[in-house]
Each structure stands twice: as structure tokens, then as C-alpha cells.
Structure 1
Amino acid sequence: MKARLLAACTAAVTLLSGCTFSTSIDGLLSPPKLSVEQEQIYEALRRAAGSNISLKYPKTGDYLSAFIVSDIDGDGEDEALVFYEKNLLQSEENALRLNVLDQINGSWRSVYDLAAGGAEVEKVMISRLGSNSRTNIIVGYSMVNRGERVLSVYDYRDGALTETLNSSYSLADVCDLDQNGENELLIVCGQTVSQSARAVTYVLARDGSYYESRTALNEGFTDFANLLYGNTADGIPCVWLDGMTGSSTIQTQALTMQEGVLTLVYTDGDSGIRTSRQSGYLTCDLDGDGIAEIPVNTLFPGYTDATESEQIRMTSWYECRGGSLMRKCSGYYSPDQQFSFVLPRRWERKVTVKQDALAEELVFYKLGRSLEDSTLPLLRLCITDSADTLQDRLDNGYVLLCSKNGLRYLAQVPETTDPLGLTVSEAILLFHA
């Protein structure tokens, strides 16, 4: 493939359960090879449940194996959790089951089995919550069409698995949002016919009761495209939610927790800035400083009267400071190619961008009286996965900015005496991928 044209198009949004993306292991051509311990657990399961079973794997999160080995009852020894399906059940029966196995006299044995709360395992978390020392088994399930999700929290003790909490959810995670050294269970729900969008945190008191704190979210949030942990510019730890408000639009709300109370950091619309944008533009930590930035779309100069297909979007990244959103920087961002170039301050309102279809490049120009009159090139960017194209570009004065996922990102900085001229060092510092 030759160098790719850097088109400003929106990537398809992957709806997630938690903050990590993963494909189902169920779809692999052959199951992963089991370890010796897993083979022993599997044989113990087959002895208890029969041989006509299929293992099921969580789709996201830290636990992606069908065999989850952990000390879930605090006795100092590991138990095993295994998700499986009984084959040949009637279609109206729930085939998914959860089995607990323990080591008895040095051998794995099934000690408890129950019907799972859904058709598929989305995510598994094992954690203490709040000040209680109990280990909680937190499982996110989805129904047959994966459109509905249910979260179950289990407590394993005295050889039995007991459900202590059940809730619908869109996203769920375990985090220490208030940074007090104790974890909370965060559940985020989109709006449905019967319930409004909301976020809820749960912690366990020492007596085993749940303490919850909840806050209403944007009533238009039907699902969520992204969950990100990051600070405000004031250093307040937050969780940032990119909520779906339409089939291809998102808005962002930030939550923080102080003294056990979950609250919104700002109201969308503060300072006249709205976070509504195309769904590929997700909240991120653009420069790795620990502060979350929200990308909001405008147009590069000269494109106001252009057709939508011809327009090139400028992205302005906003950070939260003093409870309000403030612009941090602006530049070009490509969700599909996962890179951004931040405009130096001296370029703002003085530079525009064009696509060079022949050279398959994105070119930044000094802004003239019109787009057609903008002819002084200041920077050229291109992407390639071809070794031949890479070498050809390097031979013609391009520099390699970075390599990622088999792609090479290159830049050429034309020589100019214009004050807007860029240095190679600046180009490298302002590029993010």
C-alpha cells in the first residue's frame, strides 16, 4: 500500500463494558492450549457437569480466561471460577453456568454450581469494596442480543456462592475514585424507557451493607462510547464519560467523588462550550500529563462554505479548570488513524489545511485571503505501511515521526523565512500518536 491520504473521517465507535477493548476468544479457530492446572480444573468440571460442555470466556477486562484462579474466600488458598455452557439444552433454558472449584486433599473438585445471570460473560472483576475485607466476585453479563447487560456481585463463603447485588448496567468498573485507598464499584447506566441515565457507586461497610451514592447523567445518554480516568487541570481525580446522544454523536460528563458523594464536575454548556461532537472523538489524555482533554470539533479556516465531504475539521481540546471547560490547544485529529498534530500558538487563525490527493498527504498552509489563495506550505504529513514508500520519503527530506501498529508517520518541514515556519523539533513535539 502506498502512503495513505489523511482523511478526517470518524471511526466507528465500539461500545464497551469498562475501559478495555477485546474480541471474544469464543471466535478463535481453536481454543487456547490449557496449562497443567487448567487441565486439572477442566477435568474436575467435566466429572461434575458432564463431558458435553463448552467453556465460555469473558470478553473484556483483566480476566479473559475461562479459568479464573483466585482466593475468593480469604482462606489463603486459591479457588477456581469457570464459566461454561451445557450443550443440547432447550432454547428457552439459560445454558450459561458458573462453577466454583476448590482443592480438596490436593485435587480440584467442583463445590458449587449455579445458573449465570445472562447469556454471555462480558467482564469479571475480583475486588474488595470499601472498608470491608470481603472479596467480591463481580460479573457483568449480557443477554442474547447483547443489548441488555446485568451486573451480579457474588460472595463466596462456607462453600456457597451468594448474589449480594444485582443491577442493570452499560459500563462497570472497580476504582478508587476518591483516592482514599479503598475501592468503589462504579456502575453507569444509559437511559431506557423505564429509567433515566445515571451513575452509581457502591462500597461495602464493615457490617456488610452497601452504601451507595448516585447522580443523574445527561438524560440523552443512551449508551457509552468511552470511560477514562484522568484529572482536571486543578488536580481533581475524575472519571470522564463519553455518552452516546444519537447514533453518531457523543457528549462528555465528568464525575468525581469526595467524602463518599458522587457529583458532576461541570454542567455541559459551561462557559458557552458544548461537548457535543462526532462519536469518534473520544476524551483522552492528549499529552500524557494525567489531565483529561475533551476534543470538540470546529472547521479549519476557509471551509465554512465548503460541502460537508470537502470540509476538514479542526479539533480543539478542552480541559476542566475551576469547574468550567477551557480550551487548552487546537489542531488536527484523525480518529481513524489515531494521531493528532497540535498547532503551535503562532499558527492559530493563521494556518489552514488541505489534502493533497496526488501526493497522498495532509498539508498545512499559511492562510491567505481564501483557501485557494493559501499556497505557502508549512508542513506535510503522510502515513505509510510500505518499506519502499518509507525509503522514498526519507530520501526526499521527510523525517520519521514515529512507528505504531505497522504504520510509519512522516513529516516534511519546508524551508521558509516566514515567521510561521516550523522546525523539525517542533513538528516532532507537536505530533501525537
Structure 2
Amino acid sequence: MCCLGVLAALLTLLSGCMLKTVDQMYCLPRRSEEYHNLQAAMDQVMSGLEYCAPLQGENQQTVQMVDLTGDGQSEALVFAKGVGERPLKIFIFAKEHGAYVNTATIETAGTAFEQVEYADLDGAGGVELVVGRQVSNEVVHALSAYTFSQGTPETLLTANYSRFLTVDLDRDNLRELFLLRPGADGGNGVAELYDYRGGAMERSAEAVMSVPVENLKRMTAGGMYQETQAVFAASNYDEDTIITDVYAIVKDRLTNVSLSSESGTSVNIRNYYVYGDDIDNDGLMELPSLVPMEEASSGGRELIRWYNLTPEGNEVEKLYTFHNYADRWYVCIQRDWVDTVSVTRGADVAGVQGYVFSAGRDQKHQVLFTIYAFTGDNREELAASDGRFPLAKTDEVTYAACLGGGSMGRQLDQKTLISYFNFIREDWKTGEM
């Protein structure tokens, strides 16, 4: 059995890049002998089966090339599905005497491969294969971790989960398995960490979620504070609120650090959820909280206060921003502006109303800067006229600014404001901002 998608994937995986002559560039490509060899080996095992790529995560190819054993030679893993009690199959092909041979087959129950990860869990060389499988339409999935330290797959762990990732929370240069699963009787979810110790995967004490696991929207790992690594699980709390559970190793124990803090939540800004992010690119994940603007003219707009959470649950303030989610940009707000800043819509310029940022109290309230978004054929000209200067641009929009004329506006310069202006990053896994 063969499909164009698989053939394309194999060609990409098995071919290298080199400089070509003009004549070579106009010749029809020749598939490598290695490609034909692997395709022939696959055809021998695929009778009556269909290809079955994983549905989630970074590894969603039907054919994946990975050095499982650590010998410097990549094995080919082919994900397929048939019928019977164990319809899901992973065929592992290794090179022997220059030819691909099916050296092992993993057969499991389930309806689909949900997620596949490769990680060094045991330090024995190579990487372990972690496979999540859908077994029904339920939230709970089945997980198996396999080691290849002896050359063939051996099961390290089986568990149930709703979401998992591999992460090095204890910073020992080996990965652990972090799982979220439903709690008892449909209550709040539970977090578990599996770490390889004494020849086996050892389960940590449980840490609770703030909400049922079905509410989970996004989960990621990253730096929390100084050298501490953490898992950040953002979930729906109610119709317009996101709550972020932060899990880290504290005193050798998996802990939900955010439960010891009064914050750890962020709310909806005009139908846009706000998630934790490395907003200042320092390698640490900042969490958001909202600061309402006091000025009535701001029309209920809010600033976002970003902070790091310490292992003790304390907050370390980092910076403030104004996020324009509708137009996908944000601007940093200086700390001395925060208490009095306002954002209003300005006068029409070529059909565009700018966002006017002002600060100061009473008679001292003055314009800091105005941000415009110009479109059309003359957008570059508009961005650089009448005291405006370009901030950034996309294929269709040129963003520009004009500094205020008061004393506070004169404290800024073009270079500083350009550095304050940024585009909102989109999460490539979910498509959310």
C-alpha cells in the first residue's frame, strides 16, 4: 500500500541537499535506492493495513526517522492501523547490511495514535518512545513508554492520561513524564510526574488542578523563576476567565505553586484569552494579571501586568503592556505611566483613527504617543509624513507612531518606542494568540 503523502515524507526524510548544475535542475528527480529499499520493506508489512499518523504534538508524520538505540543510525518508524483487538501498529525498520529490515513491531489497542514523543528518560543511550493512544471518545487516553536500550522495545510504563508532555523539571538532564488526568468522581484534575529511578519509572505524589481536566486549554513547559523549570497548564475557570496552574519541583516534591498564591489567573479581554508568555524574551514564563485604567476616557480598557512566580508562590513584577488583540499588536508601558495612563481613539488621518496614549493627572495629562495602522498603496508615505515614523509592517499594514509634544512625550525617542512595539505571537499548535 502506498500514498502520495507518505512518498513525499519519505523523499524529504531520506534525501539530502547539494548544489546542482542547471542541467541537473531541469532533470526529473530520481528517487534514491535507500528510498526504494525502505518502501519495499514497508510494502511487505502493510497488506490489509492503512497508514495512521499521530493526531497531536510535533511528531505527526506517518513515517518518522529517529535514532532509538543511540548507535548513530536512525530507525524508521511507520504508524499503521488494522483490525482486531490490537489494531494500532508501529513497525520499526533498521538497516542491516545496507537494507531496511522490520526488526520489531509494537501492537496495541486503541482507535488512533493521539501523540508521539521521543525523550531520553533512562540515560541508557538513545531515546525512549512515548505513545499516547485514543481508546474511545472519552477524555482519558492510554500511554505507553518503550525503551530500546537492549535493541528491542521493552515497556517502561503504562498509564492513563488526558494530556502529557516530557520535561526536565529536576534539571538532571533526563526527561520526566508529566501527566494530567481526571480526578476522582469527576472532580478537579490531577497532575502526576514519572521519573526514572532504580531501573523503573517512579510516580511522584499527586498535585491537584484548580479545575476539572476537561477545562484544559493549553499546556507548556518553560522557565519559571531563576533556574526553576515548571509546567504551565491554562484552563477555563468560567465563561470569561483563564486560570493557570504552575507545577514545579519544590523540596523534591511535585507542587502546584500557583495554589499557594492569590493570583495565577488571568481574565478575558474583550473575548480574547490572555495566556502566560515569555513576554520579555528572558527565557522565563511570565503570567498575566489585569490592571484597569482609571481614566474614564479609556472606555474600560486594561493594561496587562506581567510577573514571574517564585517557588514560594510570590510574584516578581516584570513589565506592563497594552495589548490590542483585535489588531494583533501590543506596546510596553513604562512603570511611571501605569497609574495615570489612558488610551483613546484619535482624530481621523486618511481614514485611520490612531490609538492615543496619554499620562499624567489633571492639567498635566498629556499625550505620550499615537499609534496608527495604515493600509493601501500609499501606506509607506502616510507612515513617514506629518511627524510620523514607521514602527513595523506586515504584507498589508504599515504601523506608524507620532510622539507627543509635552514634556513626558519628549522623554521618549523613536528608537525606544520602536522597541516597545511588538506583534502578538500566535501559538502554532492551537492557532490562538
- TM-score for both structures, normalised by structure 1: 0.76
Residues 309-356 of structure 1 show CA distances to partners (whole Å, capped at 9, x for unaligned) of x63232111222453124433221234554321211231222201245
Residues in 1 aligned to 2:39 and 2:317: alpha-carbon distance in whole angstroms? 55
Q: Paired residue for 1:313?
A: 302
The Cα RMSD (Å) is: 3.7
Alignment of 1:36-51 (within 5 A): 36=32, 37-50=34-47
Q: Paired residue for 2:158?
A: 166
Residues 155-174 of structure 1 show CA distances to partners (whole Å, capped at 9, x for unaligned) of 34777544432333343222
Q: Paired residue for 1:394?
A: 384
Residues in 1 aligned to 2:125 and 2:250: alpha-carbon distance in whole angstroms? 22
Alignment of 1:72-221 (within 5 A): 72-74=68-70, 77-86=73-82, 96-133=88-125, 135-142=127-134, 145=137, 147-156=139-148, 161-189=153-181, 193-194=185-186, 196-221=188-213
Q: Paired residue for 2:427?
A: none
What letter matches 2:222 in structure 1? Y
Q: Secondary structure, in 3 states, of the residue corresponding to 2:378?
A: helix
Residues in 2 aligned to 1:292 and 1:33: alpha-carbon distance in whole angstroms? 34
Residues in 1 aligned to 2:234 and 2:112: alpha-carbon distance in whole angstroms? 25
Shift of the alpha carbon at 1:293? Answer: 1.3
- Native 8 Å contact 2:89 2:107 kept in 1: yes
Q: Paired residue for 1:6?
A: none
5+ residue gaps, structure 2: 12-31, 424-433
Shift of the alpha carbon at 1:380? Answer: 2.0
Residues 262-310 of structure 1 show CA distances to partners (whole Å, capped at 9, x for unaligned) of 223342643xx45241262110111112232111123322349x9xxx6
Residues in 1 aligned to 2:55 and 2:386: alpha-carbon distance in whole angstroms? 46
Residues in 2 aligned to 1:198 and 1:120: alpha-carbon distance in whole angstroms? 24
Shift of the alpha carbon at 1:62? Answer: 4.2
Q: Alignment partner for residue 257 of structure 2, among 262, 265, 268?
A: 265
Alignment of 1:316-335 (within 5 A): 316-321=305-310, 323-335=313-325
Residues 100-159 of structure 1 show CA distances to partners (whole Å, capped at 9, x for unaligned) of 223344322334434445433343222221455574210223456585433221234777
Q: Paired residue for 1:288?
A: 281
Alignment of 1:412-423 (within 5 A): 412-421=401-410, 422-423=412-413
Residues in 1 aligned to 2:240 and 2:184: alpha-carbon distance in whole angstroms? 18
What letter matches 1:138 in structure 2? V
5+ residue gaps, structure 1: 1-25
- Native 8 Å contact 1:220 1:245 kept in 2: no
Residues in 1 aligned to 2:180 and 2:200: alpha-carbon distance in whole angstroms? 23
Q: Alignment partner for residue 336 of structure 2, among 331, 346, 353?
A: 346
Q: Highest relative contact order (Cα 8 Å, sep 6+), 1 or 2? A: 1
Q: Secondary structure, in 3 states, of the residue corresponding to 1:395?
A: coil
What letter matches 1:44 in structure 2? A
Q: Paired residue for 1:431?
A: 421
- Native 8 Å contact 2:219 2:231 kept in 1: no
1:249 aligns with 2:245: no
Shift of the alpha carbon at 1:220? Answer: 4.7
- Native 8 Å contact 1:132 1:206 kept in 2: no
What letter matches 1:137 in structure 2? L
Q: Secondary structure, in 3 states, of the residue corresponding to 2:43?
A: helix
- Native 8 Å contact 1:132 1:207 kept in 2: no
What letter matches 1:100 in structure 2? I
What letter matches 1:82 in structure 2? V
Residue 274 and residue 107 in structure 1: after superposition, are their counterparts in 2 closer, same or farther (change >3 A)? closer
- Native 8 Å contact 1:59 1:121 kept in 2: yes
Q: Paired residue for 1:411?
A: 400
Q: Secondary structure, in 3 states, of the residue corresponding to 2:391?
A: strand
- Native 8 Å contact 2:391 2:401 kept in 1: no
Residue 368 and residue 207 in structure 1: after superposition, are their counterparts in 2 closer, same or farther (change >3 A)? closer
Residue 414 and residue 105 in structure 1: after superposition, are their counterparts in 2 closer, same or farther (change >3 A)? closer
Q: Alignment partner for residue 216 of structure 2, among 217, 223, 226?
A: 223
Residues in 2 aligned to 1:53 and 1:315: alpha-carbon distance in whole angstroms? 52
Residue 177 and residue 159 in structure 1: after superposition, are their counterparts in 2 closer, same or farther (change >3 A)? closer
What letter matches 2:219 in structure 1? N
* Identical counterparts, % of pairs: 18
- Native 8 Å contact 2:383 2:398 kept in 1: no
Residue 333 and residue 197 in structure 1: after superposition, are their counterparts in 2 closer, same or farther (change >3 A)? same
Q: Secondary structure, in 3 states, of the residue corresponding to 1:174?
A: strand
Residues in 2 aligned to 1:204 and 1:111: alpha-carbon distance in whole angstroms? 26
- Native 8 Å contact 1:299 1:313 kept in 2: yes
Alignment of 1:357-368 (within 5 A): 359-366=352-359
Q: Secondary structure, in 3 states, of the residue corresponding to 1:282?
A: coil
After the TM superposition, which of the residue ranges 284-293 and 338-347 deviates more from structure 2? Answer: 338-347
- Native 8 Å contact 1:268 1:275 kept in 2: no
Q: Paired residue for 1:16?
A: none
Q: Paired residue for 1:236?
A: 228
Q: Paired residue for 1:32?
A: 8
Q: Paired residue for 1:15?
A: none
Residues in 1 aligned to 2:377 and 2:206: alpha-carbon distance in whole angstroms? 53
- Native 8 Å contact 2:266 2:275 kept in 1: no
Residues in 2 aligned to 1:130 and 1:98: alpha-carbon distance in whole angstroms? 21
Q: Paired residue for 1:302?
A: 295
